[in-house]
Structure 1
Amino acid sequence: MRKFILAFLVVVLIVMLGVTYVLKQFQQTADLSYSKLQSVQSTVVYDKNDRKIDELYKTVPRQNVSSNEIPDYVKMAFVATEDRRFYKHFGIDLQGIGRALFTNIVTMSKAEGASTITQQLARNLYLSSDKTIKRKVDEMFLSLGLERQFTKDQILELYLNQIYFGSGVYGIGAASQLYFNKPVSDLTVGEAALLAGLPKAPSTYSPSNSTEKATARRNVVLKLMHDQNVISDTQYQQALNERVVKPSIPVKKANQNQAFIDYVIKEAAQQYGVSADDLYEGGYAIYTDFDPNLQESINNSVANHTFRDDDINSKVEVGISAVNPKTGAISAMYGGRSYERNGLNRATSGYQLGSAIKPLAVYGPALETGDYTPTSLLSDERQDFGGGYSPKNANGQYQDHVTMRQALTRSLNVPAVWLLNEIGTRTSAKFMEKAGLPLEDDDKSKLGLALGGTTTTFSPLQLAQGYTTFANKGIMTKPYAIRKLEMRGGAVKKPGIQTERVMSEENADTMTSMLQDVIEKSYGTGVNARSSRDAAGKTGTTNDDKDAWFVGYTDDAVVSIHAGFDNANSTQKTKYLSGGGGQDPATLFSSIMNNW
């Protein structure tokens, strides 16, 4: 009796689990309305005011086409090709499954599939492309749910607006424009057949890749349409005679926000697992804290600036990152004067920091030891620190001692190296790592770290991250671009703001006071960065003026600017910048602040 009861309970449990699973799949389809599915468009990126700044697509923007705009022969071209029993089955074609199994067994291959149009729609709407038994089972039950909720005509319309047609386009509306430069309503029978032949293998049969294969595939579809009495003998012959022409594929041009948009796409993949292909497929909404006014000020400031080191063979390139120090939100990004889509982003490329590293590698950690203040006297005598290392001040002048404030304001090299030697390179390396600028092992014990002479390179974005430590009262805030990501289906993902206390609020305020002098004092290296806004900042210049930096901040933004030649490290390069961070970068910062 006990065995019988136990067996009965096991059966009941299995049935309950099965019912729960089925109801869960049905609930997924019930959660989406027909109107919401109809409205799926290209992925849109929004700024801090929730205004659209870009629409993501590769060639032609996605566009939804209603069923009454699609001629019957266009619909039937897909039905004849993809699912001839579409109007007879309930989402799963048992007869088709049996036929496919028989064919595959006879041919000893997987020559024929059995997915219905409804199953393909379910896969596109809800599932990954993983080829697993679970996904196939999920697909079947989701298909049953779709068939319960929508009419056949609605399912076919949704399918035609969802599928991929190759060359970066999704949906029949975009495909019709891309391949034939016309709306769906104007497609010929031959053109409809060509499009219906693409979903099986878009890259293989796309006329943009091979007009011969596209023609052959189209003719297969035309025969299916003719055999199933979708078209007449006359229509069949006329369509066979239509010539397939290779389309001219448009390339979406970069816009003034392109570096930021490209960064958003990368972050979506790295932080949220949403690939670029997923985004281009459409249906996502990406919300950012992008500041269009700041970006415009950056763009205009660079465009209107005279770079005296430009020549006919090469021009000075610029990378700029702007970060909100309180939240870490990336407010703006400038990838370069010649930036192209997915090109070299100089806002995220690594360079030596030069003296821009001093507050992070020397003066910040020195303040944190409690042994030094802005009035502490530092050695400024020309000296050998061992191994023949004897740094020089850029102005060629030396004193017995200078205060920390004077050393930082004038960006003197000897006091910086002397102080790093006093506090220890290990203390410096730990501070920098907490600030988000970890060093390679070889750089952690070298006094050249005080002057930015490291093999480790850092990007404008990383330097901006480091300086959030000072701008945000001693707390480093890690930068991010995406504030909120609305997934297809309505799920919302948000980043967790990552912060770390690097130094005390008092010491951060002290650092800000000294960095304000860099700009405000007449002898400060950042005097050209003066603007209508109260700001603090630091210049940076590497050996031979290969790299020039200015990183400045207000309460609302940390703006990190790098200038230099792309081929500065080439052995054939003989010309570098004629001035350091106090020239082009500092002047750009001033313009950006004044016009923001």
Structure 2
Amino acid sequence: MNIKELSKRLPPWTKRLKWPGIVIISLTLLALISFLVIIFGGRFVVDEEDLILDEMTTVETEEGEVIERIYTKNRKVVPISSIPEHVQDAFIAIEDGRFREHSGVDFKGIMRAVYKDIIAMKKVEGASTITQQLAKNLFLSNDKTWMRKTKEVMAAIYLERNYTKDEILELYLNRIYFGEGTYGIEAASQHYFQQSVDELSVAQGALLAAMPKAPNTYSPFENPEAAEQRRNIVLSRMYDVGSISAEVMKRMQGSTLAVERAEESADTWSNSYVDLVIDEAAEEYHISRDELKRGGYRIVVEMDPTIQRIAAEEMKNGEFVPGTKGPVEGAFTLMEHDSGALVAVVGGRDFKHGDFNRVKAQRPPASVIKPLAVYGPAMMSGEYDPFSLLSDEQQVFGKKDWKPSNHDDQYDGQVSMYQALIESKNVSAVWLLDKIGIDYAKDYLDKLGLTTDDKGLAIALGGLSEGYTPFQLAEAYGTFPQGGTKKDSYTIRQIFDRHDEVIHEHEVNETEVFDAQTSWYMTEMLRTTVEEGTAKAGTYNKALAGKTGTNQNLDVWFTGYTPQYAGALWMGYDRTGNEGAELEGSSVYPTRLMKSILTRIDQQKNLQTAFEKPEGVESLPEPVDLPVITNARGDLDLTGLALLRGTISWSAPKDERIVYRIFREEDGEDVKVGEVTGKGEFKVSAFSIFDQTKYYIVPYDPLTGKEGRPSNTVTLEWDL
């Protein structure tokens, strides 16, 4: 029997049920499919990436002091374990009393809400659960359509099937908006109460729970009365569900809001430094600015806030600005030379985020380069020392007939390296660079990180097609107090991810450049430069070595170091070449400013009073100051054997290292008859009382091999 025959034998009434049956079966299948889609289709609505909340990055010191926050949304994600139970209970009580019981959608709550809406003839109660609210906020738009609502239910069920209640509540509390640009429970706690979420009281937690429904309406700053009423409703709900006792409810409802608005500061003291941190994160660790805004990193930096504030304040001080035409700018950097850690950075006299950070600008270094490109390499050659004599005569150099001049247009013929550095002699520096060779000097510049494509002798004077940044010069000068070892500067010590795991850590990068003896000689010469030479402007009473530089009064520098820090300070214009763009007062201003900054740092940090000489190096002798002798005289007297003897005497300074060479004029020639060291007297044998031979004295410096000016001439006469 086939199906066709069987259908003919069925009672007639069954045929009447055919189409209704098909409809019922179809509807049942459709309902089943819809149910399965709602139950299992949430995976197509939920994007797991959206579960990773945007979180602010903090820049902080090693001690945990937060310097600045970098964010698109002001949010700090905290684990549910950090959120007190009474705070959790407050949100559950007001938003979703059956949160711990339902599976994402509260059908009892829906029926209750519908009933209340019908009785009131208007919408008086919502039925969305915390899970639904989270799903809507994370994955969906605010469109009020059945499709959007269906997707919300699907996503909520998916979340409930794949995450624990604590995980859902943690996401919710970290996601919601609390007004005034604040997202998440931790940021809200800090914003409204100036404390962490784990310190919130019951009343404070209730106030925060009152806000998400309408953050502006219930803002405790803008609408304190409405905020208090809403808070008290939350406390009542907490009592209704058994989270708190009646006594606690009454006491908390009678408390003040106790909110505290943080002082809004327009101070930009840290902006230069943080700007550099952002750049370093991108260049060294490949973390972009956008990623920092949402990635929830914790960046531990080397800034010393005390020093940073001092530097930012002093840079604004008009007392240290050269008299000029137009606005003068500046840049300052200070690093610990034993590690390279940057403790302070100021990128402009009034720098704020978005400005050009001048610590990254390349500027002609002028005479600041002399110890680095000329004198240091020369001593490393073994052919020169601080008392080697250098030419100080104006002369022509090179094929282009270049004739450099000294800044004061004064020339001494010959000077020691010591004197040439202290007085910043241009001709001597160029002459010495010519002797040691440009390529040889550039090898040292490369080691110092001061690479240049320039090939001329103008390198000796810092006349470069492209200059150097304050960082580069601070690093280079920091080589000397470190015995010749250069440390690369840096701002970031460690970077932690949002799970507080270290993902990046600074590694010291160092280069051996000079030997310890050369470095110590340079320290002693640069210390004297600060005390007696071109860098003596201003006042600082502790140990400081350094050098000034002036580039045609367009760029002025002071670069130097203390036993702890190396720093560079530049002043000038963002744009040069304009008529009247010259600075007045040259390098006096950055020198005074640097010393003022160090003086204030010393008041807070008690800096060292002297440089400590490394073991195994020789001290640099004090230079010999050859006297000009104008009071020489000659006397005759009788010895014990009745022989005539002459005495030549003169006033000798206290420096017992000076050698006095005695000459006599004989037949038109000058003949050396002897010498004494450290004394103002010389004995001469005489054979006739009528001897009219003329004598004179020439002081001699044994350190440099340089002779001084001859004294007045004398003859031997009786002292009557």
**Pair 1:335 & 2:341 matched:** no
Identify the residue that residue 423 of structure 1 maps to in structure 2: 436
2:456 paired residue among 446, 451, 460: 446
**Pair 1:589 & 2:594 matched:** yes
2:487 paired residue among 477, 480, 494: 477
**Pair 1:558 & 2:571 matched:** no
- Structure 1 residue 574 displacement after superposition: 1.9
1:52 paired residue among 47, 66, 75: 66
Equivalent pairs counted in the alignment come to 439
**Pair 1:363 & 2:375 matched:** yes
In the superposition, relative to structure 1, how do residues 177 and 59 fare at CA in structure 2: closer, same or farther (>3 Å)? Answer: farther
Distance 1:163 1:186 in 2: 10
TM-score, length-normalised on structure 1? Answer: 0.66
Q: Match of 2:319, SS?
A: coil
Q: Match of 1:323, SS?
A: strand
In the superposition, relative to structure 1, how do residues 368 and 55 fare at CA in structure 2: closer, same or farther (>3 Å)? Answer: same
Q: 1:178-234 CA distances to partner (integer Å, 9 max, x unpaired)?
A: 9xxx96633447999xxxxxxxxxxxxxxxxxxxxxxxxxxxxxxxxxxxxxxxxxx
Distance 2:437 2:129 in 1: 75
Using the aligned pairs only, state the percent identity: 34
Q: Match of 2:530, SS?
A: helix
Identify the residue that residue 167 of structure 2 maps to in structure 1: 154
Identify the residue that residue 477 of structure 2 maps to in structure 1: 467
- Structure 1 residue 530 displacement after superposition: 4.2
- Structure 1 residue 490 displacement after superposition: 2.9
Amino acid corresponding to residue 537 of structure 1 in structure 2:
G
8 A Cα contact 1:519 1:529, kept in partner? no
Identify the residue that residue 299 of structure 2 maps to in structure 1: 286
Distance 1:46 1:412 in 2: 45
2:511 paired residue among 475, 489, 500: 500
Identify the residue that residue 349 of structure 1 maps to in structure 2: 361
Distance 1:474 1:422 in 2: 23
8 A Cα contact 1:322 1:559, kept in partner? yes
Q: 1:51-102 CA distances to partner (integer Å, 9 max, x unpaired)?
A: 3333333574647686555534484344257569xxxxxxxxxxxxxx9xxx
- Structure 1 residue 448 displacement after superposition: 0.5
Distance 2:381 2:134 in 1: 73
Identify the residue that residue 420 of structure 2 maps to in structure 1: 407
Amino acid corresponding to residue 361 of structure 1 in structure 2:
A
Identify the residue that residue 526 of structure 1 maps to in structure 2: 535
- Structure 1 residue 297 displacement after superposition: 2.6
1:186 paired residue among 211, 228, 240: 211
Q: Match of 2:537, SS?
A: helix
8 A Cα contact 1:325 1:477, kept in partner? yes
Distance 1:416 1:166 in 2: 64
Structure 1: state its 5+ residue gaps.
Answer: 1-36, 85-98, 100-111, 121-142, 193-250
- Structure 1 residue 154 displacement after superposition: 2.8
Q: Match of 2:570, SS?
A: strand
Distance 1:494 1:152 in 2: 36
395-404 or 276-285: which moved more?
A: 276-285
**Pair 1:512 & 2:512 matched:** no
- Structure 1 residue 316 displacement after superposition: 1.5
8 A Cα contact 2:430 2:461, kept in partner? yes
Structure 2: state its 5+ residue gaps.
Answer: 1-51, 97-127, 141-146, 192-206, 218-263, 602-720
Q: 1:272-310 CA distances to partner (integer Å, 9 max, x unpaired)?
A: 222222322253222222122222332333233414545
390-399 or 61-70: which moved more?
A: 61-70
Identify the residue that residue 225 of structure 1 maps to in structure 2: none
Distance 1:154 1:495 in 2: 34
Distance 1:118 1:549 in 2: 67
Identify the residue that residue 296 of structure 1 maps to in structure 2: 309
8 A Cα contact 1:552 1:589, kept in partner? no
**Pair 1:539 & 2:551 matched:** no
Identify the residue that residue 548 of structure 1 maps to in structure 2: 556
Identify the residue that residue 15 of structure 1 maps to in structure 2: none
Distance 2:381 2:309 in 1: 41
Distance 2:423 2:365 in 1: 17
Q: Match of 2:479, SS?
A: helix
Distance 1:535 1:165 in 2: 53
Q: Match of 1:347, SS?
A: helix
In the superposition, relative to structure 1, how do residues 427 and 190 fare at CA in structure 2: closer, same or farther (>3 Å)? Answer: closer
In the superposition, relative to structure 1, how do residues 352 and 448 fare at CA in structure 2: closer, same or farther (>3 Å)? Answer: same
Q: Match of 2:358, SS?
A: coil
Q: 1:1-54 CA distances to partner (integer Å, 9 max, x unpaired)?
A: xxxxxxxxxxxxxxxxxxxxxxxxxxxxxxxxxxxx99x974322225443333
Q: Which has the higher strand share?
A: 2
In the superposition, relative to structure 1, how do residues 113 and 56 fare at CA in structure 2: closer, same or farther (>3 Å)? Answer: same
Identify the residue that residue 91 of structure 1 maps to in structure 2: none
Q: 1:81-129 CA distances to partner (integer Å, 9 max, x unpaired)?
A: 7569xxxxxxxxxxxxxx9xxxxxxxxxxxx999968999xxxxxxxxx
Identify the residue that residue 250 of structure 2 maps to in structure 1: none
8 A Cα contact 1:58 1:168, kept in partner? no
**Which one has the largest radius of gyration?**
2
Equivalent positions of 1:248-287 (< 5 A) are: 255-281=268-294, 283-287=296-300
Distance 1:527 1:410 in 2: 11
- Structure 1 residue 464 displacement after superposition: 0.5
Identify the residue that residue 135 of structure 2 maps to in structure 1: 79
8 A Cα contact 2:336 2:565, kept in partner? yes
Distance 2:285 2:524 in 1: 39
Distance 2:88 2:60 in 1: 30
Q: Match of 1:299, SS?
A: helix
Identify the residue that residue 107 of structure 1 maps to in structure 2: none
- Structure 1 residue 495 displacement after superposition: 1.2
In the superposition, relative to structure 1, how do residues 297 and 254 fare at CA in structure 2: closer, same or farther (>3 Å)? Answer: closer
Amino acid corresponding to residue 58 of structure 2 in structure 1:
V
Tell me: higher relative CO, structure 1 or 2? Use CA pairs within 8 A at least 6 residues apart. 1
- Structure 1 residue 593 displacement after superposition: 1.5
In the superposition, relative to structure 1, how do residues 117 and 381 fare at CA in structure 2: closer, same or farther (>3 Å)? Answer: farther
Amino acid corresponding to residue 415 of structure 2 in structure 1:
V
8 A Cα contact 1:413 1:451, kept in partner? yes
8 A Cα contact 1:57 1:168, kept in partner? no
In the superposition, relative to structure 1, how do residues 452 and 155 fare at CA in structure 2: closer, same or farther (>3 Å)? Answer: same
- Structure 1 residue 346 displacement after superposition: 1.4
Identify the residue that residue 44 of structure 2 maps to in structure 1: none
Amino acid corresponding to residue 560 of structure 1 in structure 2:
A
Amino acid corresponding to residue 475 of structure 1 in structure 2:
T
8 A Cα contact 2:326 2:581, kept in partner? no
- Structure 1 residue 269 displacement after superposition: 2.0
- Structure 1 residue 517 displacement after superposition: 1.1
8 A Cα contact 1:361 1:428, kept in partner? yes
Amino acid corresponding to residue 473 of structure 2 in structure 1:
L
